[in-house]
Structure 1
Amino acid sequence: MTETVQTPWAKLDRDEDDRVTAALPLVDHCLDVGTVFEIVLAAWRRPLEVAAGRPLTPLDIARLTVLVALHDLGKANRGFQARIDPKQPRIGHTGQVVALLEGPIRRTPAGRMLNGLIDDWGAYPHFAAVMAHHGRPLEEFSEDAMAPEDPWRRHVDHWKAGADGDPTAHVLTLIDAVRARWPLAWEEGPPLPEAHRFVALFAGLVTLADWLGSDTRRFPVEGPHGAARDAMRLAEAQQAAAARGFLPLPTPFGDFAAALEYPPHGFQTDAAADLGPVALIEAETGSGKTEAALWRWLELRRRGEVDGLFFALPTRSAAVQLHKRVNDMLRRVWGEDAPEAVLAVPGYLRSGDATGQALPGYAVRWDRGEPGEEDARWAAERANRFLAARVAVGTIDQALLGTLPVKHALFRAGVLSRSLLVVDEVHASDAYMIGLLERLLDHHVAVGGRALLLSATLGAAARARLLKTPAPSLEAATGLPYPALSGRGHDLRPAAGAARAGKRVRIEIAGIIDDADAVAARAVAAARNGAKVLVVRNSVAGAIAVAQAVAARAPDLAFAVNGVATLHHGRFAPDDRKLLDAAVEEAFGKERAPGGQVLVGTQTLEQSLDIDADLLLTDLAPMDVLLQRIGRLHRHGRDDRGAFADARVVVLRPAERDLRPLLDRTRGRHGLGPVYRDFRQLEATLRLLEETPDLVIPRDNRRLVEGATHDEALAVVTRDWGTAGQNHTASRSSAVASDRNTAEVVALDLSKRFTELRWNPGGEEAMTRLGARDVLVDLDPPLRGPFGLPVDRIAIPGWMRIAPGAEVERIDDRRFRIDGRRFAYGPWGLQAGS
C-alpha cells in the first residue's frame, strides 16, 4: 500500500526495511537550493555579466534565483510522489514539467502562473536550462523535439486532478512560497539577458546550486521544516559556499620570490602583463613556464580578472607531480588559510596534503583534518566536480569534457569560467584535440574566462589557429624569436630571460628500433658507467620488450618498484600507477640518488614530468615530440654526471633508412604509422637530425619544429617521394581534415540557443582523445598486484575490443579471461593473450 505524507516531498530518509523515517517537504528543498544559488552566484558574477553583455541588476538576480528555486517543481507530479512506495515505477520530475507549459494542464491556475512568469521575464530558455539540472538538456524542451508525438502527452496524466487531490495545486503553493521569499522578481522590468552563452553558463550553475543544496549533512531531511528552517538555511548556505571556496578570497600582496622561492626571470613577470584573453608562453622545457603561469594567475587575481585556477597537463603522471608544487605555492602565499589544491585525476582522491579513501555510498574518508573540513574537499571527491575547485591540477581531458555532449558538460564549462585555464605542453600533433581546445577556448573567453597556453614545441600553424592570427610562411615562422610571449590581439615578442645557456645535445641515429636486446644493451652499458638512462618507446609492446631485456641483462640496474623490475606506461591499475609515479620521481627527479639505472616507458614519460636523465634513447617520432623527450635530458644543472656531462640522444629508427616501405600501414611498427601517422614529419625529422646532429637547445627549437611540421617543409618530402609521397600526402590531408571536422561536429557550440543544443543518444561516447574507449573491468576477488597491492579494477584498452559488461572469469591470482580472451596483469602491466 502506498504511504502518504501531508505535503509533497522532495527527499526521503528510509530505514533498513525501506520504510520512510523522514520526509523533506518540496517547498523547503526548493528554498534551500534557491538560497544557495543566490550566495554562490557572486563567485561567477563576472563571467555571467560578460556572457550577458551587460551588468546583472538586482531584478535579474532575483528572477534567476526564483527560477533555480523552482528547479524541482516537477516533483509535485503524482507519479513522482507515488515513489514514496519503493515498489512504484520511477517516474521523474524534469521532463514531466513540460505538461505544465503545453496541453490542457497549461490552462490550470498553476500552468497559467508558470507560463506567465516565463513570458513576462523572457525566460523560456532559462527555464529549460533549469530543467537540465541533472546534467543535460531535455528533449521535452527542445525547439524541434524529434518525438513522434508532442512531448507533453507523455506526461499529462501525472498532473491530472483526481479524488486524492490536484497535483498542480502544490505547484501553486511552491510558487507562492518562492514569491514570498524573493518578491522583487515579480516587479516590472526588462527581460532576462537572452545571450545564448549566458543561458548555458546559468545551466551549469543551477547544477552546482542543486548539488550544494541537496547536501543532507547541511540541509537535513528530518528538519527543521517550514519557518523554523529559514535561519538554518541561510547560515548553512553561507557556510557551505565558504567551505567550498565560493566566497571571495583576497590575494595577499607579495613578490615573485616569496611565492615561488626564487627570483624571477624577466619573462616570468612579463607573463603577467596584458597578453589578451588567451596568452601563450613558448620556451624550452625546464625554463620556468610553470612558475610564470602561477605568477600570472596571482596577478590576474589581484586585478580581479579571475578567481580560480585549473592547471591542465597532458598526462596523469605530470598532474600528480605538479600538484604538490602548486599546493606548496598556495601555502607560501596564503599561509594557514590557503586553499587546498585538488588533484583532478580520477581515482587519486587528493586535496592538499590529504588523501581520501572511497567508502560505500559515495562517501569519502579523509586521512587528516578536523570534522567538517571535508566540505573544503568536496570538489576532490568526484571527477565531475573537479573544475569547481578554486585550485585544481589535472589532465586536459577534464577541461575538454566541458565542450563535449556528455553529462554535466555545462556544469564543467560553467564553473571553469571563473578560472585561469592553463594548458601545458600544447603542440600540434593531434588535430582532433586542437580542434576541441579551440572550441573550449572560444567559449571560455566569450564568458570572461582567461587562458594561458604553454609550449616548448608549438608550430606556426597551430599557434595561428589558437591565437586567431594568419599563419606565416616557413621563412617567417623560422625567423620568429624563441623563447617568446604572445597572445590573442598581441604580437609575438622575445621572452626575456627564458633562454638559458644553450644546452648542447649530440644526436646519434641507430637503426636498431626492431632489436629490443640491442637497445637494452646500449642502455645497460651506459648505466654500468653511472648514467641515469631514459628509454622512451612509441608503443607499449616495444617498451615491454626493452624493459624485459634490461631486467634479464642487469636486474640491479632495472627500474623497480618495491624491488620488482618494471616500466612506466598507461596500462597499470590506478593504485599501481601511483606507486610508479612516485618511484620515477625518486629515481629520476631533481633530488635523485647517484648511481646508474635504466627507466623504460612510453609517451607517459615525455611531457611535463620533472625527469632528469643523463642519456636518452628514443624511438623516432615527429620533431615536436622528440624535443619534448629531449627536455627530460639534462633538465637540471648538476656536477655528478661523470662521463655523461655532454647531453646525448640515441634516436632509434628502422634498420632500413628508407621509410617509404612503411607507408603501407599494415607494415607500421613501433608507433611508426599506428601512432605517428604522418611519415612526412618523420622523414623531415630524420633529415634535420642527419644534417645537423649537434643541436643547441633552445636556440634551434624554432628551426627544428618548423622544419619538420610546417606545410612548406612537408611539401619538399612529398615532392622527393614522388607518387608515393603524393598519395600519402593526400591520405594525411584527408585524415587531418576528418579529425578537425570530427572535433567541430562533436564539440558543443554554446553560442547556439540553449533549446537547440543536442545531447544525442550516443553522446556519452564522445571522447577527449580520438580512439576506442577503454573498458573498465571490476575484478572480484581482486588480483594479486605485482607491487603488493590488490587490484580490483583495471582498464582494458578500447582497441582490444572487449564488450562493456562482459563476464570476467578468473584463471588464477594474476590472470583472467573475458570474451574468451586471456589477460595477465603483472610487473609489465596488462598484457593480452598471456
Structure 2
Amino acid sequence: MREPVTWAKLERDGEGRVVAALPLIDHCLDVAAAFAAILPAWMDALTAAAGRVPTAQDIARLTVLAALHDLGKANRGFQARRDARVRPIVGHTGAVAALVKHSALIGTAAGTALRDMFVAWGSYQHFAAALAHHGRPLEEFYAEAPSDRWSRHYPQWVTGDDGDPAAEVMRLIEVVRARWPLAWEEGPPLPDAARFVALFAGLVTLADWVGSDTTRFPVAAPHGAEREALRVAAAADAVVARGLAPLETPPGDFLDAFGNPAYGFQAAAAAPDWGAVALIEAETGSGKTEAALWRWLEMRRRGEVDGLFFALPTRAAAVQLHARVNTVIGRVWGDDAPPAILAVPGYLRAGDATGQALPGFAVRWDAGDDAAPPDARWAAERANRFLAARVAVGTIDQALLAALPVKHALFRASVLARSLLVVDEVHASDAYMTGLLERLLTHHVAVGGRALLLSATLGGEARARLLKARPPSLEEAVVQPYPALSGQGVAPRAAAGSARSKRVTVETAGLIADAPAIAARAVAAARAGAAVLVVRNTVDGAVAVARAVAAMAGELAFAIDGVATVHHGRFAAEDRKRLDEAVSDTFGKGRGAGGRVLVGTQTLEQSLDIDADLLIADLAPMDVLLQRIGRLHRHDRDDRGAFSEARVVVLRPAVRDLGLLLEGKGARHGLGGYVYPNVTQLEATLALLEREACITIPQDNRRLVEQALHREALKTVARERGAAWVNRLNADRGGESAKGDSAKIAALDLSLRFTHLTFREDEDALTRLGARDLLIDLPAPLAGPFGSPVTQVTIPGWMSHRISGDAVARVDERRFTLGDWTFVYDQWGLRRDDAGDRT
C-alpha cells in the first residue's frame, strides 16, 4: 500500500505489517464531527460554565480546537511508529508544547499560526485542554513548567530526510481553517472561565473516543473528500446509539411509572423550586428512591437535565437498585427505553443484558430481553466511562472520581454535567467523604448540573454544610420537620410521607466481644422462625460470628450452594456477585418464611432493600444505627410470629464504661479506633438508647440524630463526664477538621486556570481516606469457595502497607504469598494467614 505522508491510526495484519493507514487530517476531522454531534446535549452546561450563551463563532472555534487535538502526531518520533519495532515509543500530546514554546519552532508557519490563534481567540488555555484528551493536563503546559519539560521534544520537530513535521501541522491547520472559516473571523475571545475550559477538556476526550471508533470511522478508505459524508453520518449515528444525544421523555404520571400513587413528599419532590441541590429527608423504606426517579423524570420534561447518575454507598445496594431503575425506565419508555448501566467495576451489566470481558478490551454481550444494540452499552464496558451513560446506577466512589486529580477526572466531571446526580444515604459520619462531595457538588452546580441528596439520618449541621446554609443550633435542629424537603436557599419544609410508623424495642447487651454468645442469640431467634440480621463494625467481628453460627446451626447460616459464608467487602469480584444475589434472595422483599441468620458488615446497612425480623448490631453513632434499624421490619408482613414487634439488640463492651476508650484502652470492634473514632458520639448514642426502651420511626429520627451528634449535645455529654472527655472530644473534632482539610487538599479545584491544574502521577484515587488498596493479579487462579476460580484479589491498604516485596506466588488452592506475607482466601473472604483479630 502507499503510505500517507502523515498518519493518525494504523491497521496491521497478524504479522504486524501495516495494511491500512488513516491520514491525520481525516482522523482530526472525524473527531471534530463527533465533537459537533455531542454538543447539543451539553450546551446548557457550556452556557452555565461560560456565563453566557456560546455564539456560533465560539462553537466554530471550539470545534477547530477539538480537531487540532492530535496535531502532535505529526512529530517525527510518532510517525516512526509505522515500524512496530521502533523503540522508544514517542507520544504525541506533550510534544506539541515545543512547537508553541521553543524559540527555534515558534517562528515556523505552524508555530506562528497557533500563537496568532491564541492571541486572537484567547485560546491558549482551551488549546492546553484539548491536548489533555488522554485524561489529564499535560505537565509541559503547566504554568510553572520548567523549559526542560518541553524543550526535550524539540528534536521531534526538526526537518529531516523523513520530512518537515511542522509543515504537516500547518497543512492540517489550513484544512481546518477552510472547513470552519467563521472561527478565524474577527470577534470577541472565547469564554475563559476556568470551569468552561475544564468542561471543554472533558468533552474533547468524549469526542475523541467517539471519533476513534474504527467500526464507524474506519482506518481504511474512504479518505479525503470522499470521507466527509461518511463522518457526518457516522458521528450522528454514534451519539444517538450511545445515548449522547437528547432524548424526549414520554408523558405520564407517577402511577404510570411506578404502579402506585405517589405519597405527598414524592410528588412534592418533583417541583421546580428546590434549587440546584435538593434534599429529601425521610425514613428508610419510605420511597425516597421513587421520589428521586420521579424528580428526574419531571426535570427531564422541563428540560432541566438529561442523564441520571444514582450514587449509592455500597456495591450491593447499587446492584440491587439497578434492576428497580431498569423496571421504571421500561415502564416510561417501553420498547425504546435506554438501558441503565450498572456502574460497579467487575460487573458488566446494561439493561437486562450481561457482558463478558474478552481479550483486547472487547466485551461480548448476551442479547438481553431488549436486544439493545451494543453501542447502547458502550459506557458500561469501562469504569472510566460510567458517568457518560444516560442512566447509570453505581457507588458514590465513581461519582467522587470526578472531584479528584486522577486520570479522566475531567471527562467524568464533564459528562456528568448533563445529569441529575442523586446521592443516596448521605450522612455526616465521614468528614473526608463529605468534603469530597462538597467539592463535587460545587463544580457540578457551577456547570449547570443538578443534584438530589437522600438521607434518613442527616444532622442539621451536615445539612447546612451541603446546602450552604447557616448551621442551626441544637434547639433549632431538633424541631426541624421530618420527613422534610429542602434545597439550596430553601429551608426545610414538612413533607407528607407514608402513614407507616414502626415501634422498635431497644435492648443493649454487653456482648460485643463474645462472638459465640452473639451467635447463640441469633441462632435461638432463627430457630423460633426469625430472619436475623447481624451487622458488625469490622470484618473480623463479622467473620467470628458467622463462623460460630455455622458451627452451631449450619442449616440456618447464610450460605451459597450450601457453603456457609458472610457478607463484607473483602471478597473477589467473581464472588461478590454471588453474595449480593444471595442476600437479595434470602432477605429481600420476596423472601419466604422461616428462620435464618445473615451476618455482615456495613455493606448491609445502607440502601439495601432487605428485611429482617430481628436486628443484632454493634454500637455505632446514632445515624449509622438508624440506618441499620432501617433493615428491620422494612416491609409489611404477616408471618413474623413471635417477632411481630421490631426489636434491635445493640452490642456494647461488657464493661459499660466507654471512658476506657478515651486513651485507646479497649479500642476494639470499631469503637474508638479506625472505624468510629468519636467516642463522645458513641457515648451519647448509647446513653440515649439506654434511656429509651422503645423508639418510634420516623417520629423520633430527627431528635435522636441531633441529640447524639449535634456539637452542642456532644459538648454537654463531654462536660458532664469530665475533663478527659472534653479533651477527647476536642481531639476528635480536630481529627474531623483535619479530614475535611485533607479532602480540600486532595480534591480538584476546577476554579483554577487549566494550566494551574496538577494531577497525581498514579491513576489510583483515594475516595476514602486511608491507605491505597492493592489489586493483585494472581499467577494462577485460586479455587473460589463458591465454584468460580478467582483470578484477582484486592488487598486493603491497612493490610498491605507493611508488605515488603511485590512478588506474588500461589501456595495452594486457597493461599498465595505477596512479598513476605501469606494470605488465605476462602468462604470467609480474604485474610492474612497469620493475622490476629484486628477488632
| TM-score of the aligned structures, taking structure 2 as reference length | 0.97
Q: Which residue of 2 aligns with 1:99?
A: 98
Q: Which residue of 2 aligns with 1:738?
A: 738
1:187 aligns with 2:217: no
SS state at 2:354 partner: strand
Q: Contact between 2:779 and 2:809, CA under 8 Å: does it hold in 1?
A: no
Q: Which residue of 2 aligns with 1:638?
A: 637
Instruction: Determine the C-alpha separation between the residues in 1 that align with 2:804 and 2:292.
Output: 40
Q: Contact between 1:746 and 1:766, CA under 8 Å: does it hold in 2?
A: no
Q: Displacement, 1:805?
A: 8.0
- AA in 2 matched with 1:733: R
SS state at 2:822 partner: strand
Q: Displacement, 1:804?
A: 9.7
Superposed, which structure 2 residues align to 1:661-672 within 5 Å?
661-665=660-664, 667-672=666-671
Q: Which residue of 2 aligns with 1:170?
A: 168
Q: Which residue of 1 aligns with 2:831?
A: 831
Q: Displacement, 1:811?
A: 1.5
Q: Contact between 1:69 and 1:178, CA under 8 Å: does it hold in 2?
A: yes
Q: Contact between 1:499 and 1:698, CA under 8 Å: does it hold in 2?
A: no
Instruction: Determine the C-alpha separation between the residues in 1 that align with 2:142 and 2:20.
Output: 36
SS state at 2:770 partner: coil
- AA in 1 matched with 2:308: L
Structure 2 residue aligned with 1:7, among 5, 13, 18? 5
Q: Contact between 1:283 and 1:499, CA under 8 Å: does it hold in 2?
A: no
Q: Which residue of 2 aligns with 1:281?
A: 280
- AA in 2 matched with 1:799: W
Instruction: Determine the C-alpha separation between the residues in 2 that align with 1:615 and 1:44.
Output: 49
Q: Contact between 1:287 and 1:500, CA under 8 Å: does it hold in 2?
A: no
Q: Which residue of 2 aligns with 1:466?
A: 466
Q: Which residue of 2 aligns with 1:783?
A: 782
Superposed, which structure 2 residues align to 1:290-301 within 5 Å?
290-301=289-300
Q: Contact between 2:387 and 2:416, CA under 8 Å: does it hold in 1?
A: yes
- AA in 2 matched with 1:660: G
175-184 vs 788-797, which moves further = 175-184
SS state at 2:759 partner: coil
Instruction: Determine the C-alpha separation between the residues in 1 that align with 2:182 and 2:600.
Output: 62
Q: Displacement, 1:494?
A: 0.4
Instruction: Determine the C-alpha separation between the residues in 1 that align with 2:7 and 2:593.
Output: 66
Q: Which residue of 2 aligns with 1:584?
A: 583
Q: Contact between 2:804 and 2:820, CA under 8 Å: does it hold in 1?
A: no
Q: Displacement, 1:140?
A: 1.3
Change (3 A) 1:191 1:683: same
Instruction: Determine the C-alpha separation between the residues in 2 that align with 1:256 and 1:161.
Output: 67
SS state at 1:106 partner: coil
Q: Which residue of 2 aligns with 1:513?
A: 512
Instruction: Determine the C-alpha separation between the residues in 1 that align with 2:514 and 2:111.
Output: 75
Q: Displacement, 1:110?
A: 1.2
Q: Which residue of 1 aligns with 2:430?
A: 430
Q: Which residue of 2 aligns with 1:212?
A: 210
Instruction: Determine the C-alpha separation between the residues in 2 that align with 1:669 and 1:348.
Output: 34
Instruction: Determine the C-alpha separation between the residues in 2 that align with 1:261 and 1:512.
Output: 45
Change (3 A) 1:743 1:394: same
SS state at 1:621 partner: coil
Q: Which residue of 1 aligns with 2:23?
A: 25
Instruction: Determine the C-alpha separation between the residues in 1 that align with 2:80 and 2:306.
Output: 44
SS state at 1:794 partner: strand
Q: Which residue of 1 aligns with 2:195?
A: 197
Instruction: Determine the C-alpha separation between the residues in 2 that align with 1:275 and 1:152.
Output: 49
Instruction: Determine the C-alpha separation between the residues in 2 that align with 1:36 and 1:567.
Output: 48
Q: Which residue of 2 aligns with 1:447?
A: 447
Instruction: Determine the C-alpha separation between the residues in 1 that align with 2:790 and 2:161.
Output: 57
- AA in 1 matched with 2:209: W
Q: Contact between 1:535 and 1:616, CA under 8 Å: does it hold in 2?
A: yes
Instruction: Determine the C-alpha separation between the residues in 2 that align with 1:387 and 1:152.
Output: 33
Q: Which residue of 2 aligns with 1:604?
A: 603
Percentage of pairs with the same residue: 67
Q: Displacement, 1:666?
A: 5.8
1:809 aligns with 2:809: yes
Q: Displacement, 1:780?
A: 3.0
Q: Which residue of 1 aligns with 2:837?
A: none
Q: Displacement, 1:630?
A: 0.1
- AA in 2 matched with 1:572: F
Q: Displacement, 1:667?
A: 3.1
Superposed, which structure 2 residues align to 1:281-360 within 5 Å?
281-360=280-359
Q: Contact between 2:679 and 2:729, CA under 8 Å: does it hold in 1?
A: no
Instruction: Determine the C-alpha separation between the residues in 1 that align with 2:372 and 2:454.
Output: 37
Instruction: Determine the C-alpha separation between the residues in 2 that align with 1:14 and 1:163.
Output: 25
Instruction: Determine the C-alpha separation between the residues in 2 that align with 1:371 and 1:294.
Output: 24
SS state at 2:316 partner: helix
328-337 vs 84-93, which moves further = 84-93
Change (3 A) 1:120 1:666: farther
Q: CA offsets, 1:397-439, max 9 Å, x none? A: 1110001000000000000000000000000000000000000
Instruction: Determine the C-alpha separation between the residues in 1 that align with 2:610 and 2:372.
Output: 38
- AA in 1 matched with 2:196: F
Q: Which residue of 1 aligns with 2:490?
A: 490
Instruction: Determine the C-alpha separation between the residues in 2 that align with 1:499 and 1:567.
Output: 33
Q: Contact between 2:619 and 2:651, CA under 8 Å: does it hold in 1?
A: yes
Change (3 A) 1:652 1:434: same
Consecutive unaligned residues of structure 1, counting only runs of 5 or more, are: none
Superposed, which structure 2 residues align to 1:365-764 within 5 Å?
365-368=364-367, 373-496=373-496, 498-665=497-664, 667-672=666-671, 673-761=673-761, 764=763
Q: CA offsets, 1:305-357, max 9 Å, x none? A: 00000000000000000000001111100000000000000010000000000
114-123 vs 442-451, which moves further = 114-123
Q: Contact between 1:524 and 1:554, CA under 8 Å: does it hold in 2?
A: yes
- AA in 1 matched with 2:321: L
SS state at 1:689 partner: helix
Instruction: Determine the C-alpha separation between the residues in 1 that align with 2:12 and 2:597.
Output: 57
| TM-score of the aligned structures, taking structure 1 as reference length | 0.98
Q: Contact between 1:616 and 1:649, CA under 8 Å: does it hold in 2?
A: yes
Q: CA offsets, 1:618-663, max 9 Å, x none? A: 0000000000000000000110100000000000000000011122
Q: CA offsets, 1:370-406, max 9 Å, x none? A: 9981111100000000000000000001110001000
Instruction: Determine the C-alpha separation between the residues in 2 that align with 1:309 and 1:216.
Output: 28
Instruction: Determine the C-alpha separation between the residues in 1 that align with 2:285 and 2:235.
Output: 44
SS state at 2:612 partner: coil
Instruction: Determine the C-alpha separation between the residues in 2 that align with 1:371 and 1:151.
Output: 50
Q: Displacement, 1:600?
A: 0.3
Instruction: Determine the C-alpha separation between the residues in 2 that align with 1:765 and 1:473.
Output: 40
Q: Displacement, 1:500?
A: 3.0
Instruction: Determine the C-alpha separation between the residues in 1 that align with 2:341 and 2:760.
Output: 32
Q: Displacement, 1:721?
A: 2.7
SS state at 1:93 partner: coil
Instruction: Determine the C-alpha separation between the residues in 2 that align with 1:553 and 1:569.
Output: 21
Q: Contact between 2:535 and 2:602, CA under 8 Å: does it hold in 1?
A: yes
Q: Contact between 1:68 and 1:206, CA under 8 Å: does it hold in 2?
A: yes
Superposed, which structure 2 residues align to 1:113-132 within 5 Å?
113-132=113-132
Superposed, which structure 2 residues align to 1:125-144 within 5 Å?
125-144=125-144
Q: Which residue of 1 aligns with 2:109?
A: 109
Instruction: Determine the C-alpha separation between the residues in 2 that align with 1:478 and 1:6.
Output: 73
Q: Contact between 1:558 and 1:598, CA under 8 Å: does it hold in 2?
A: yes
96-105 vs 357-366, which moves further = 96-105
- AA in 1 matched with 2:604: L
Change (3 A) 1:778 1:765: closer
